[in-house]
Structure 1
């Protein structure tokens, strides 16, 4: 329990039984007071492990997430759209760099994180393993996928680990511009020709299932939520984030005249919670574990990029003196 009592209520989480009880109590008291944990502070190994897992996966999601939109840069309708999408993709890659830096403060090198990604050992968001067939798919990602990301990130920016929170503050500021860009793209499709409206509706139909998966499995089966929320690594549960997203964006989708491919979607007036058809969680597990429509393709692109950039990294890490001819 926080602030006194039996701190080893936490010991039900695997690994905590080996931690120093006094240090663990002090650590949890700091979190309860709202203090930030910094890299040189004492922390339980499980806290560090869960943070590395969470921040690393977030970083991977940013860099892989740039791929489905990046394929549309050369095909975006009009020069201004091309410029805007190029800037957005560049931002996403920059977000990955911020997050890798935050994860490195916990002792795992960026090189090891990238290796784990391209070898399929590390996970990233399920939703980026689906193909963006049309420009409308890119519009969906820019508006609604980024909206879902902001829901998660704004909550976690109030968390307990300082470097991650500071990275999220910067990321959320930039994501707010991405959200406006995506909303503008969708409005353009909604107010365009019948063919444009049809394309946008088809994109919503394709992406709604993965979007419901985006926030993670239900709280009742999520294996990490309890400990992450206890230590304020995660500030809202998967179901809470999913409900907040539905609260904010279902009315906006309906306002634009589009439908959502779930006949059971409605808000319960008593509980104030959304009711919906349960997503196919078996599909979610398959995609997360590497068997989605584009998993192999996404990782192949990253492997090629890693190989092509190898000479640059080697040049940067080679001592300059090796190439300097001494003066006579």
Structure 2
């Protein structure tokens, strides 16, 4: 559902030239393979920086899938009607499954799942900023299911064409399921937007609350990224932050306006060059949220820590060798 585009990176203390100081012949062969559209597999040689950035990207995507299920999960018992409850249960189940697929893909690069979970719980590893905001009403769930899923699909469809085989294959399956999630969110969004005056007001208020986090979703402007060019050459990133944000606006702003809803940005417009112009979102808030100061950061990690601690006995039991004598056949 979520993430897979912007890498919430920590500063690397080594200069870029030093990071890329690999065997020149191997590096040239590696880049030639990528230029030809070949997939890199776990046993293949790869630059250490390629491996590092892929681990960060994939594990952060995995964390986002797991954490992203939390705000929607709290609405399962409160969703309006049995059909909505069933759909939300299925969606949350899918998101957890996506997280497991992505953890598997990241493990092929040499980082254990235990290490990834520990880095999440310690705050070292990041996840998508949008999941540190509360889902106050059912309309918030509709906005998440429609627009945030849509933003994630823009990321994931692009990255499914990337260079690392296990990640691409995981994304192909994820994108199939996400198309159904998007339809579920779109259906709920449409029902509110075309419903009673109270329902339309509720979805408009939710849209106002979520618009800045959605604009933050793709990451800071390209001009602030120092490594994007190399990551795009290696097909770790398949599109720039600004290009993905523009693609999302191009696809979904007209749909919102057609429903008679407004967006909380008076400067939002498409210019003559076909690019969207908009008020620059508050990037200081973006980095505050990423660094743990969002309205729900502590709550989200507290739930994950509880699940990790209370599920430890299950994992321990599963790892024990089976004792057939304990289960006699009648």
Matched-pair contact (CA < 8 Å) for 1:15–1:46: no
Distance in 1 (alpha carbons) for counterparts of 2:183 and 2:327: 54
**Secondary structure at the residue paired with 1:290?**
helix
Residue pairs, 1:76-115, within 5 angstroms:
76-115=79-118
* Corresponding residue SS for 1:220: helix
Which residue is 2:307 aligned to? Answer: 305
Once the 2 structures are TM-superposed, how far is the Cα of residue 191 of structure 1 from its aligned partner?
1.3
CA RMSD of superposed structures (Å): 1.6
For residues 149-188 of structure 1, what are the alpha-carbon distances to aligned partners after superposition, in whole Å with 9 as ceiling and x for unaligned?
Answer: 0000000000000000000000000000001111100110
Uncovered stretches (5+) of structure 2, i.e. residues with no partner: 1-13
Match of 2:8 in 1: none
Q: In structure 2, what is the Cα distance between the partners aligned to 1:71 and 1:274?
A: 35
CA distance in 1, matches of 2:101, 2:134: 26
Name the residue aligned to 1:242. Answer: 245
Give the superposition deviation at 1:14: 4.4
Q: Is the 8 A contact 2:20 2:49 kept in 1?
A: no
Where do 1:1-328 residues align within 5 Å? 13-269=16-272, 271-321=273-323
Contact 2:20 2:47 in 1 (8 A): no
Residue 156 of structure 1 contacts residue 165 of structure 1 at CA under 8 Å; is this kept in 2? yes
Q: Helix, strand or coil: the match of 1:77?
A: coil
Q: List structure 1 runs of 4+ shifted beyond 6 angstroms.
A: none
Kindly provide the CA deviation profile for residues 48-101 of structure 1, in whole angstroms up to 9, marking residues without a partner as x.
000000000000000000001111000000000000011001111110000000
Deviation at 1:317, TM superposition (A): 1.1
Q: CA deviation at 1:245?
A: 0.1
- 1:323–1:292: structure 2 CA closer, same or farther, 3 Å change rule? farther
Using the TM superposition, give the Cα deviation of residue 223 of structure 1 relative to its aligned residue in structure 2, in angstroms: 3.7
Check 1:321–1:224 CA distance in 2 against 1; reply closer, same or farther (3 A cut).
farther
Check the 8 A contact 2:59/2:106 in 1, yes or no: yes
| Structure-1-length-normalised TM-score | 0.93
User: Quick check: 317-326 or 187-196, which moved more?
Assistant: 317-326
2: CA distance between counterparts of 1:278 and 1:119?
A: 31
Tell me the equivalent position of 1:4: none
CA distance in 1, matches of 2:316, 2:17: 40
User: 1 CA distance for matches of 2:30 and 2:214?
Assistant: 36
Deviation string, structure 1 residues 219-267 (Cα, Å, up to 9, x no partner):
0002442222110011100000000000000000000110000000000
Residues 129, 289 of structure 2: 8 Å contact kept: yes
Give the Cα–Cα distance (whole angstroms) in 2 for the partners of residues 323 and 235 of structure 1: 54
1:187-215 deviation line (CA, Å, top 9, x unaligned):
10011110000000000000000000000
How far apart, in 2, do the equivalents of 1:289 and 1:322 lie?
49
SS in 2 for 1:320: coil
Cα distance in 1, alignment partners of residues 239 and 219 from structure 2: 12
Distance 2:77 2:114 in 1: 30
Q: Residue in 2 aligned with 1:8?
A: none
